[in-house]
Amino acid sequence: MDEKACFPTAICGVSGRQVFDSRANPTVAAQVRLRCGATGEAMVPSGASTGAFEARELRDGGEPFGGKGVTRAVSHVKGALAQALTGLDADDQLAVDRAMLDADGTESKSRLGANAILALSLASAKAAAAARELPLYRWLGGAAACTLPLPMMNILNGGAHAGNNLDVQEFMIVPVGAKRFSQAMEMGVAVYHSLGRLLRERGLSTAVGDEGGFAPDLPGDEEALALLCQAIEAAGYRPGQDLSIALDAAASEWSQGDGYRLPKRGQPFTPGELAEYWCGLCGRWPIVSLEDPLGENDFAGFAALTARLGGRVQIVGDDLFVTNPARLRQGIEVGAANAVLVKPNQIGTLSETAETVSLARQNGYRAILSHRSGETEDTSIADLAVGLSAGQIKTGAPARSERVCKYNRLLAIEEELGRRATLGRLGR
């Protein structure tokens, strides 16, 4: 037997099962058990708006669950991946993740499934933290992990996340004037309720989209932005001072030939016209963050837009970078964007996620931990945001339990940290 297999933190048991996400689609849950008796469990989310360069989920195909079953991925958790991990020391996250990558053998993690690999990567880290009787954020970040992330709350949904006529996927509020995370939540919740009241008064739908934000039909983006500012004011706050606005266009889904066409409204744009459109909106409204304003291959366009707006607006690469250190390096070289959205299931392991955040910070890029539109009750990204000192988080509206559980976890972390807790800012 390998000597490491006798360590208290050696992995001695691995299990998995098929569970369901917030869109009633199957997803992977996995558990890791250590020789000392500590265990860790994780569930992985799934996105509706996915980049072409993301690590690949493994789905069953066929009839059950519309082809979205994950029984094959679960079988790999129990089979090839369990075999690769048994006896390894969970304290060594790099070794755990490398063993799974070697077992998979593909760049995209498509053979065994990024969903299977990530579930075990996170579960192993949780088990290692439990063995030390530490919360996950402290295990990951040590004593320096005391920055709570500034929340970016998606309170108005569109795009692939909603059945309305808005093409921009997320209209978010950012409590830039908050001093503590709990205060940021108080401000965001007040505006969320204020927006709901405004919609009801105008006879508009208060049904919510996948991420908990309201999803009414509106005449256009300008009207949506005006509505957000009105909701901020109605809650007793000042737009641009207490709360600002962030947008996620998810423009990769608009790509058509050499240009763009809005899928719901049919409006065409050349790349130059779309860049001008964003510059105009950012000039007229208190927008502080703009995510995926252009397509996932347009590094040059991102660089040009960052040169124009990056001094006053956070330009975020999501589909552009897909939490991949290699693609982030490519962006850094040409000055594309100044922030990276970090979704662990885009890359598939905790160690690669941490590498992406570290690379961003070393090069002056901001990092935003993010959920997916198909979420679970797993709160890992809350601990990751603190443990990796990301400074910002996206986890939807302050509604729907699969979103709120992340916020509630962060409130608990703030309480644990006490006076040491600080709140992240857009500038760090």
Average pLDDT score over residue span 213-217: 93
Greater confidence (250 vs 286) lies with 286
Residue ranges of the annotated binding site for substrate are: 161, 170, 291, 318, 370-373, 394
Residue ranges of the annotated binding site for Mg(2+) are: 248, 291, 318
SS3 for 166-187, per residue?
Answer: CCCCEEEEECCCCCCHHHHHHH
Is 276 noted as a catalytic residue in this protein? no
- Residue range 146-198, pLDDT digits in tens: 999 999 999 998 877 677 788 899 999 999 999 999 999 999 999 999 999 99
CA nearest to 32, candidates 77, 69, 70: 77
- Residue range 64-78, pLDDT digits in tens: 999 999 999 999 999
Which of 41, 54, 211, 296 is catalytic? The answer is 211
Residue ranges of the annotated binding site for (2R)-2-phosphoglycerate are: 169, 343, 372-373, 394
Residue 253 pLDDT level (bands cut at 50, 70, 90): confident
The predicted structure's pLDDT at residue 363: 97
Residue 1 pLDDT level (bands cut at 50, 70, 90): very low
**Whole-structure pTM value:** 0.95
Is 211 noted as a catalytic residue in this protein? yes
- Residue range 81-119, pLDDT digits in tens: 999 999 999 999 999 999 999 999 999 999 999 999 999
Average pLDDT score over residue span 391-400: 97
